[in-house]
Copies of this chain bind each other. A is one copy, B any other.
Amino acid sequence: MSSIRYAILSLLAREPLSGYDIKQYMNNRLGPFWKVGSNQVYPELSKMEAEGLVQRQAVEQHSYRPARKVYEITAQGKSEIIDWTLAPANFELNLRDEFLLKTYNAWLVEPDNMISSFMEERKKHVEILETYQMKLAELTPTLDASNSKDPLNSTIFIIDFGLRHEQMYIEWCDQMIQKLKTE
């Protein structure tokens, strides 16, 4: 069920990267939508190299720093990630959100306190919505929308999802605040 190797292959299919890059991309670039720790990335890369899914490029060496090992995807790796992409996703209902659990306990606390919580939560989601909007504005001009082979198009697909998710979250907060006010 762990998809970390597929997440790594998904990034390497676009461009060669070091383990450090991969970690940064996953934790910062895309939302983050797939967080990992370095203890997951480095051993997994070694395994994948042994299995022939990735291979090392030239090593960039600065004497004072660990060598930067850049990996690129192999033909075998590319074929594996394409197969995985086409295979049906095994469905996971993934609403494990701490704030949702707190909402489930709304009846335990004063409505006014709950309203404050919703407003705080709303604020966080507005901020993230804005980062998505900036990313979108940044990518859209450089894009040929009619070219389905451009990875940027796929990037925009998932940013669009993030955007909709945040909008939905904000609207939900607004409606919950309304409901709590009229109680």
Interface residues of A (CB under 8 A from B): 3, 6-7, 10, 13, 30-35, 78, 81-82, 84-86, 88-109, 111, 113, 117, 120-121, 124, 128, 145-151, 153-155, 157-158, 160-162, 164-165, 167-168, 171-172, 175-176, 179-180, 182-183
Contact = CB atoms under 8 A, between A and B. Distances in A.
Contacts of A3: 98, 101
User: From DSSP, what is the main secondary structure of chain A's interface residues?
Assistant: helix
Copies of this chain, count: 2
Given A3-B101, A107-B148, A93 B32 contact: yes
B171 A164 contact: yes
A151 B100 contact: no
Contacts of A104: 10, 30, 154-155, 157-158
B172 A164 contact: yes
B103 A158 contact: yes
Contacts of A151: 107
Contacts of A180: 148
Given A171-B164, A172-B160, A183 B107 contact: no
A120 B160 contact: no
Given A94-B94, A95-B161, A160-B175, 16 more contacts: A31-B95, A33-B96, A33-B100, A78-B108, A89-B102, A100-B158, A103-B161, A106-B153, A106-B157, A145-B179, A145-B183, A148-B180, A160-B176, A164-B168, A165-B165, A168-B168
